[in-house]
A = this chain, B = another copy of it.
Amino acid sequence: MHAGSEPLDGIFQALADPTRRAILARLGGGPAAVGELAQPFDMALPSFMKHIAALEQSGLIRTEKSGRVRTCTLERATFALVDGWLGEQRRLWAGRTDRLEAFVTRDIT
């Protein structure tokens, strides 16, 4: 039934966790190894790796193993999908002029 909407499912699901958002924020400053990323979190490694896996599966990061170290890199292009969805929503709002819109747009713009 819902063919084609799946990528956003995984992306939003991945973003719905503070640990994973923190990982993304850290990776915003540049690539890092799993162990290095894990340090700030009081969590066993296997648990942490599940977060990494969720981020990778959703396409928000890319990882590559060199020797015994796995390095994680932000996949910026994927963020554009979220941006695109937001933009599409706003496009749907366009033209509607409720009292509400007058209020909201005045505050934002």
CB distance from A2 to the nearest CB of B (A): 4
- A8 engages B21 (CB within 8 Å): yes
Q: Which residues of B lie under 8 Å from residue A104 when comparing CB positions?
A: 76-77, 80
State whether the Cβ of A86 lies closer than 8 Å to any Cβ in chain B: yes
Q: Which residues of B lie under 8 Å from residue A6 when comparing CB positions?
A: 18
- A79 engages B89 (CB within 8 Å): yes
Interface residues as binary, A85-109 with B (CB distance below 8 Å gives 1, 0 otherwise): 1101110110010101100100110
Q: Which residues of B lie under 8 Å from residue A101 when comparing CB positions?
A: 76
* Known contacts A18-B2, A28-B93, A29-B92; A107 and B77 CB within 8 A of each other: yes
CB distance from A33 to the nearest CB of B (A): 16
